[in-house]
Amino acid sequence: MDWRPSGYMLSTKDLVHAIFDGNSDAGKLLVKATMGEVELFASPKSWNAILWLITSTLKVDGASVYSGKKLGELKSSLPIVWRAD
C-alpha cells in the first residue's frame, strides 16, 4: 500500500493567504507541502484569481511585473495539485 500525506483542498481565499501571507494557517500548510508533509489541492479557477491579483496589483509604470512565462514558472513551482472539481 502506498503511503500518502494528508491532503487539503484550498479555497481561493486560502490560496491567496498561502501565497501572500506565510504566517497564515494556509501559508504554514504551503511550507509543509514543500517538505512533503501534506498534499495541497486547488481549483484551476483559484489560480485564475491569483493571476488576476498579481497582474492587477504588481505593476511598475503601469506594466505587470511578471511576464506570462514567469507566471507559468510560479504556478509550476508551487507544491499544489490543480484539480477541477
% of the chain at pLDDT higher than 90: 78
The verdict on residue 13 lying in a domain is yes
Domain-located, residue 58: yes
SS3 10: strand
Q: Does residue 1 fall inside a structural domain?
A: no
**Domain count within the chain:** 1
In 3D space, the residue among 11, 84, 9, 77 whose CA is nearest the CA of residue 39 turns out to be: 9
Domain membership of residue 48 (yes or no) is: yes
Q: Which domain holds residue 43?
A: 6-82
Q: Where are the beta strands (DSSP E) in the chain?
A: 6-10, 38-42, 59-60, 63-64, 80-82
Does residue 85 carry a pLDDT above 70? no
In-domain check, residue 69: yes
Task: Classify residue 22: in a domain, yes or no.
Answer: yes
pLDDT at residue 62 tops 90: no
Q: For residue 40, what pLDDT is reported?
A: 97
pLDDT band at 64 (very low <50, low <70, confident <90, very high): confident
pLDDT per position as a tens digit, 5-42: 899 999 999 999 999 999 999 999 999 999 999 999 99
The three cell numbers locating residue 52:
488576476
